[in-house]
Amino acid sequence: MAKNLKINGVTYESVPQVSIPLATGSGTAEFYDTTSATAVAGDIRNGKTAFLGSGSVTGTMPDNGAVSGSISTVKGTYTIQSGYHNGSGTVGIAASEQAKLIAGNIKAGVTVLGVTGKSSVVDTADATAAASTIVSGKTAYINGAKITGALTSVAVSQDSLTKVLTIE
């Protein structure tokens, strides 16, 4: 809110700024109405000074400079410290976690953060085979586990005739 100013008996209402010429060639002194200022020391960077409605105030806001951090879990967050930041900091996925984001670790048909799963990585959760139904010596993955077959013979029926075949 501007102030009323009285000069040589004349009142000037709502004056927000006054410029007073200094000695020749020295410029002017500028005075501003600061009564409506709402900042407090915590709003001003530490070590900086401002003039508010109550006079000179030295800031207490911490200067954090460039702030950097990383996130290393799926629900991880990075808490930003209060204070001033110079805009040069970064926050990203931890390097140890980035190294795990390879196609061989992601199932086919899924893309995680721009990395597409490898076609040989498949979900085996619905598999119904068992070691007894896989040819002996052969392997398969069932529900994420590697199974070695144990099947050595098969009974085949056709028109009420049953034959046993031996697998070699």
Pair 25, 14: CB distance under 8 Å: no
pLDDT (mean) for 23-27: 83
- Per-residue pLDDT of 51-98, as tens digits, reads 887 788 999 999 999 999 999 998 999 998 899 999 899 999 999 999
Phi/psi-derived region of residue 144, left when phi > 0, alpha when psi is between -120 and 50, beta in every other case:
left
* pTM (2 d.p.): 0.51
Closest by alpha carbon to 53, among 1, 120, 117, 118?
Answer: 1
Q: Are residues 137 and 103 in the same domain?
A: no
Distance CA 46, CA 56 (A): 14
Q: Are residues 112 and 155 in the same domain?
A: no
Q: Specify if 124 maps to a domain.
A: no
Range of the domain at 79: 69-116
Alpha helices in the chain (DSSP H): 95-98
